Amino acid sequence: MEAPRRRVICNQKTGLVFQLQKRISVLRFNRICMAKKRVFPLAQVYGLLEPGPVVLVTTARAGQANIMPMSWHTMMEFVPPLVGCVISSLNHTFEMLRATGECVINVPTVELAKKVVGCGNTSGLLVDKFKTFCLTPVAASVVEAPLIAECYASLECKVFDIRLVAQYNFFILEVVKAWIDPSRKRPRTIHHQGEGVFVVPGRTIKLPSPKTSFFTK
Amino acid sequence: MEAPRRRVICNQKTGLVFQLQKRISVLRFNRICMAKKRVFPLAQVYGLLEPGPVVLVTTARAGQANIMPMSWHTMMEFVPPLVGCVISSLNHTFEMLRATGECVINVPTVELAKKVVGCGNTSGLLVDKFKTFCLTPVAASVVEAPLIAECYASLECKVFDIRLVAQYNFFILEVVKAWIDPSRKRPRTIHHQGEGVFVVPGRTIKLPSPKTSFFTK
């Protein structure tokens, strides 16, 4: 049933779909969103972002939603999870985030690589990226910005600290709700190495119990 | 000739070796360091850090050098390259960095994974990590902190902004000199996913010309 639903959505104006989805009941929302994704513990969010995947940042304002790929991000605290990220003031997302104070960090996998690059090569001022790249907005639970259904994880965020925005375009976000698709056991994220080259995770290794507190920060 | 030299160094007190190396002539330094590593353009540094590898941060003070693994880092500017990173105030490196304002970000590959984890599970207050993990300090060209010979890339850094150190332990560093081993065509960096699990890069994909400015920030 998934494919037909997506086709219908892609044949309509994404803005309308998004507004419609904002109006659907909590029960209906739960059925759509929870079909794939489960709530993910906030204390484990760092494991999603620490390896450096390209993410898709969604924002929404006045019924219009936008998508921007981003690789310049870092964890800054475990609980509550804080994420620092650079969003260029040249990007439409910068103004959207500054105005609304909310966004969603979505983690795509390699199957979406072409769409990710497409989102990076277009501007939300000119293009409706959900429609153009046939991505499905799903209502979030805490913030106005939509989750992207096709991404295996989505982190609802609120702006936490803007002290470094003026000089570095650096936002500190708090992850207030996290979602993950538990059926994706080895999600193959994409990692940008510059100039269109990306690397996809290969083998996984496990080493004896590094203490996280020493290890990551 | 490489292995015997390393064994000799590892059988001595690393502090002494480091002090000795600080005294060697520029010519000798060039011969040791440049044997493997070449100067790397500062404008391309982002491609080393953006995919999220675990790095080894070296610091030095009063002839004593230390090593700390780190995964919470992000690029913040292309040129001059700025790197934001979280270094816990519980770590010896925090005080070393705050006192000296200098460090080196070294990028290890999977062959060094056990040593990396070892460095993360010990404290520089108790252990001489160069000696314990048999890693080779090499004099840097701009900062006091040593490069790690075994790492395929090393970035000499100076502290650039400390505004967020008090609240988040977040340092902004400027990369002032970058070194790379050009013989390593596909360096297999390691990416921490939490609790001792690491992922190693697999296949590389190239997609048509994403505009870097849109893409990464």
| A46 touches A129 (CB < 8 A) | no
pLDDT grade, residue A184 (50/70/90)?
confident
Query: What pLDDT, in 10s, does the model give residues B155-212?
Result: 999 999 999 999 999 999 999 999 999 898 889 999 999 888 999 999 999 987 555 5
Name the amino acid, one letter, at A204: T
Length in residues, chain A = 217
Strands A102-107 and A82-86: unpaired
Select from A55, A56, A70, A74 the residue whose CB has the most chain B CBs within 10 Å, as the one to mutate to test that interface: A74
Strands A137-138 and B64-70: unpaired
Which chain B residue has the Cα nearest residue A193?
Answer: B47
Of A52, A76, A163, the CB nearest to B52: A52
Residues of B within 8 A of A113 (CB-CB) are: 205, 207
Which is nearest to B107 in space by CA: B168, B50, B42? B50
Residues of A within 8 A of B90 (CB-CB) are: 213
pLDDT, residue A209, reads: 59
DSSP annotation string for chain B? -HHHHHHHHHTS-HHHHHHHHHHS-HHHHHHHHHTT-EE--GGGTHHHHTT---EEEEEEETTEEEEEEE--EEEEETTTTEEEEE--TTSHHHHHHHHH-EEEEEE--GGGHHHHHHHHTS-TTT--HHHHTT--EE--SSSSSPEETTSSEEEEEEEEE-TTHHHH-EEEEEEEEEEE-TT-SS----EEEETTEEEEEEEEEE-S---HHHHH-
Query: What pLDDT, in 10s, does the model give residues B129-170?
Result: 999 999 999 999 999 999 999 999 999 999 999 999 999 999
Q: Give how far A26 is from chain B: nearest CA, Å.
A: 33
Select from B76, B160, B215 the residue whose CB has the most chain A CBs within 10 Å, as the one to mutate to test that interface: B215
Strands B197-206 and B191-194: antiparallel
Which residue has tokens 């979280």?
B86
Percent of chain B with pLDDT over 70: 80
Which chain A residue has the Cα nearest residue B82?
Answer: A168
Give me the interface pTM, i.e. the ipTM.
Answer: 0.85
